[in-house]
């Protein structure tokens, strides 16, 4: 009832339908219905949603900027399908990112920059909460380094989002690679030029 206002409304309007098949005493049934109509339930729902939105805003802030006015309707749909569970930031980031990519795949969300930004923020979140060894084998990319592929130039794209504004519609398209390096603690970002891309490909890092 806290997580789903629609369920709570259905319980008030059609208690027999909603509670059919659930083994409740008459006292338990009366208590549930009394709770459902309490005005404070709306406050509980607001608090619950704030707790769910916080890890999304912390780990996917640029994604939220891109979604703009669409965010409310999209997270409502997401929460309805994933009433959840684990609200730890890395898990919620991965779950919401996967949901968004599914929505993009079926055409429910259309945004030319969204997949690029989701990929970037997923990589940053993985590095931020990385708990494994700092280095992999010598032949592998270091564990605290990610190469993120963009289909639009990430420089103007991320600069605009960093200023909390939507990027212009004419950001150059192509294949761009951005290295995110957290080996020094704070993330460092570096674009790969053509020679570096070729070298990374030769080593199997792209």
3 touches 48 (CB < 8 A): yes
Q: What is the CA radius of gyration of the chain?
A: 22
Domain limits, the chain: 1-38, 39-202
Judged by DSSP in three states, 172 sits in coil
Structure tokens at 132: 């494994």
Look up the pTM and report it: 0.82
As a whole number, mean pLDDT of residues 97-102 equals 97
Provide the pLDDT confidence category of residue 11 given band limits of 50, 70 and 90. Answer: very high
As a whole number, mean pLDDT of residues 84-95 equals 82
User: Residue 47 pLDDT > 70, yes or no?
Assistant: yes
User: Residue 87 pLDDT > 80, yes or no?
Assistant: no
- Per-residue pLDDT tens digits for 108-152: 999 999 999 999 999 999 999 986 655 555 567 888 999 999 999
Q: Which long-range contacts (CB under 8 A, 24 or more apart) does 68-73 make?
A: 68/166, 70/109
Comparing 34-43, 108-117, 166-175, which segment has the lowest mean pLDDT? 34-43
């Amino acid at each position: 009832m806290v997580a789903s206002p629609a369920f709570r409304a259905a319980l008030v309007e059609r208690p027999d339908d909603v509670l059919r098949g659930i083994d409740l005493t008459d006292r338990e049934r009366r208590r549930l219905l009394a709770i459902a109509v309490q005005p404070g339930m709306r406050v509980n729902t607001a608090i619950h949603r704030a707790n769910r939105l916080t890890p999304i805003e912390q780990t996917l802030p640029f994604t939220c900027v891109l979604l703009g006015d669409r965010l409310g309707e999209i997270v409502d749909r997401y929460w309805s399908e994933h009433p959840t569970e684990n609200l730890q930031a890395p898990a919620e980031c991965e779950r919401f990112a996967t949901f968004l990519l599914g929505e993009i795949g079926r055409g429910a969300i259309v945004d030319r920059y969204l997949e690029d930004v989701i990929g970037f923020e997923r990589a940053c979140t993985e590095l931020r909460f990385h708990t494994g060894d700092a280095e992999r084998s010598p032949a592998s990319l270091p564990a605290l380094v990610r190469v993120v592929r963009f289909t639009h130039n990430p420089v103007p794209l991320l600069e605009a989002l960093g200023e909390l504004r939507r990027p212009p519609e004419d950001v150059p398209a192509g294949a761009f690679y951005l290295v995110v390096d957290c080996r020094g603690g704070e993330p460092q970002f570096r674009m790969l030029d053509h020679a570096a891309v070729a070298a990374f490909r030769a080593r199997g890092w792209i």
